[in-house]
Amino acid sequence: MTASNDRRRFRPRLGRWRFLELLLGITLLAPGMAMQIPATPAKADSLSDAIAAEQRLAKLIADQRAQLARLTSQQAALTTTIASTQANLAGVSSSIDDAEAQMSALQGQLSQAQGHFDSLVAEQVVLQTRLAQLTNLQQEKQRELDVREQILAGRLVAAYESDQTPVLQQILTAHSLTDALSQASYYSSLSQADKALADQIAQDQKTLSQIRQSVEMAQAANSQLEAQVADQRSQLADETTKVKTAKDGLAALKTQLDAELAQQQQNQSKLAGSKAALAASIKANGQAVDQLANKIDKLIKQNKGKSKIPSVYNGKLHWPMGGVISQQFGCTGFAAEPRVGSCAHFHQGIDIVSPCYTPVYAAGSGVIVFVGYNPYDAPPRAWMVIIAHSSSLVTWYAHMTAKSIPGIVAGAYVSTGQLIGTENTTGHSTGCHLHWAVRVNGTFMNPRLFV
């Protein structure tokens, strides 16, 4: 064979070589292609690990979403409680002791919400860390796959150059390198090392796909959680501000009421120093209350079964007004109170001190049986509202502003929490306060037993 014939035979081989080079891709034959990576046997361990990692990641995301849901629910309840507390303080509708207890509970709820939020933020950091690890692993696996494909591409070129024509035909007719690897006839033509490398490439492609899927899931979840956590952070900051405002409001109210209470105690001391005034006050306080009580009891008994007064009251009573309690029910050191039983001085209700004109509300639903000045009281007379909640349960509200609220008249039905007047200092009073009493079957009892 002549040299010219050899050259003619070589040209088409060279043209086919260039076509093969184009098919495999210039990047596969870039410098560094000769870098040798040992062809490890294909194993399912890496894919199983990737699948297990995705399952752990899905659980982490689910746990964070559940934690976020719990925090959202808790903050909704916290917002409602804050609003209720602010309303109570604005209307002085609970005792200072109760308001302080409520504020303490509110602070505890806020601290708990802050703890849950901090835990959620910590869990999000875990998710972000896992996402970074997965992204690095994805890049590492991609680099390993690229290098293995370069090595296999080099071996395919070498196979062509050594005239392994069936292999070349498989490559040229395949749509991609992966398709070529999947053809059994080509696979059987490979050497043992090439088979191991081809198996490793196929396995790497599956593992990389699984990792890529995990990364996409983590990225989507992380973006969503970041936005939701930011919302919760903003809401928590707003709630913290509201709780501080409520605490400051309570402190200011308590300071004001302490001043009112101090003034009343000073007035009580002056009254105790005047024997004549004290004797008159004791007589008025005792007789006027007894006479009005007998009148009301008789009125209710006469109208039993004929009026709107129910025979039984179901439920509990509510505080009619908030403030500082200056006198509890029972034996007292206040000398102006009358003797009852073994007590030299006995207080037959609870005195609540608040700023003058604080609203007073019905402690329970019922029928108004009396509105006006106590007709048996020596001047100055106390303005009173008396409500029959049943034929046996009656509440008294004394020392109120001497002015009827529209609709608050004898015979009118009132609901729990309905405005019935405002606090004042009418009658034998040492300062603005509400005397709240509960009478059951003709006997005054401690109102605390019914709230």
Residue 247 shares a structural domain with residue 339: no
Residue 187 shares a structural domain with residue 287: no
| Residues of the domain holding 35 | 15-255
Name the domain count of the chain: 2
The answer as to whether 424 is a domain residue is yes
First-last CA distance in the chain: 119
- Which H or E run includes 434? strand 434-440
Residue 225 shares a structural domain with residue 337: no
Residue 72 shares a structural domain with residue 156: yes
pLDDT the model gives residue 334 = 59
CA 352 – CA 238 distance, rounded (Å):
33
Q: Residue 388: count other Cβ atoms within 10 Å of its Cβ.
A: 25
Q: Residue 290: count other Cβ atoms within 10 Å of its Cβ.
A: 13
Residue 199 shares a structural domain with residue 311: no
User: Averaged in consecutive runs of 10 residues, what is the pLDDT profile of the chain (451 residues)?
Assistant: 44 44 40 41 68 86 85 82 74 66 84 87 88 90 88 75 55 57 53 76 86 89 88 88 84 75 65 55 66 87 75 88 82 64 79 89 94 86 93 94 91 94 88 92 91 85
Q: Looking at 210, 239, 255, which one is the last position of a domain?
A: 255
The answer as to whether 262 is a domain residue is no
Q: Is the pTM of this model over 0.85?
A: no
pLDDT the model gives residue 283 = 56
Cα separations (Å) of 402 from 279, 349, 386, 420? 25, 20, 14, 12
Angle at 327 between CA 326 and CA 332, to 5 degrees: 140
Q: Looking at 205, 237, 255, which one is the last position of a domain?
A: 255
235 phi/psi in degrees, rounded to 5: -65, -40
Residue 297 shares a structural domain with residue 230: no
The answer as to whether 387 is a domain residue is yes
SS (H, E, C) 34-54: CCCCCCCCCCCHHHHHHHHHH
396 phi/psi in degrees, rounded to 5: -115, 145
* Nearest 10 degrees: Cα torsion 302, 303, 305, 311: -90
pLDDT the model gives residue 439 = 94
pLDDT the model gives residue 24 = 44
Residue 316 shares a structural domain with residue 228: no
Q: Looking at 255, 274, 290, which one is the last position of a domain?
A: 255
Residue 244 shares a structural domain with residue 289: no
pLDDT the model gives residue 265 = 65
Residue 291 shares a structural domain with residue 188: no
CB of 95 within 8 A of CB of 320?
Answer: no
Cα separations (Å) of 374 from 20, 71, 176, 291? 114, 54, 104, 9
CB of 342 within 8 A of CB of 382?
Answer: no
pLDDT the model gives residue 173 = 57
Task: Show Cβ contacts of residue 267 under 8 Å, excluding neighbours closer than 6 positions.
Answer: 430, 431
CA 374 – CA 346 distance, rounded (Å):
20
Cα separations (Å) of 255 from 258, 262, 321, 354? 5, 11, 17, 11
pLDDT the model gives residue 39 = 45
The answer as to whether 335 is a domain residue is yes
- At 256, list the tokens: 């004001």
Residue 327: give its domain's CATH number.
2.70.70.10
CB of 366 within 8 A of CB of 309?
Answer: yes
CA 173 – CA 20 distance, rounded (Å):
11
CA 197 – CA 256 distance, rounded (Å):
86
Cα separations (Å) of 183 from 20, 170, 207? 18, 8, 21
CA 287 – CA 282 distance, rounded (Å):
8
- At 360, list the tokens: 């007073």
367 phi/psi in degrees, rounded to 5: -115, 130
The identity of residue 350, as a single letter, is I
pLDDT the model gives residue 36 = 43
The answer as to whether 428 is a domain residue is yes
The two most distant CA atoms of the chain are separated, in Å, by 151
pLDDT the model gives residue 172 = 55
Residue 127 shares a structural domain with residue 225: yes
3-state secondary structure of 123: helix
Residue 193 shares a structural domain with residue 319: no
The answer as to whether 276 is a domain residue is no
The answer as to whether 270 is a domain residue is no
Residue 119 shares a structural domain with residue 22: yes
The answer as to whether 277 is a domain residue is no
What is the DSSP-derived secondary structure letter of residue 418?
A: -
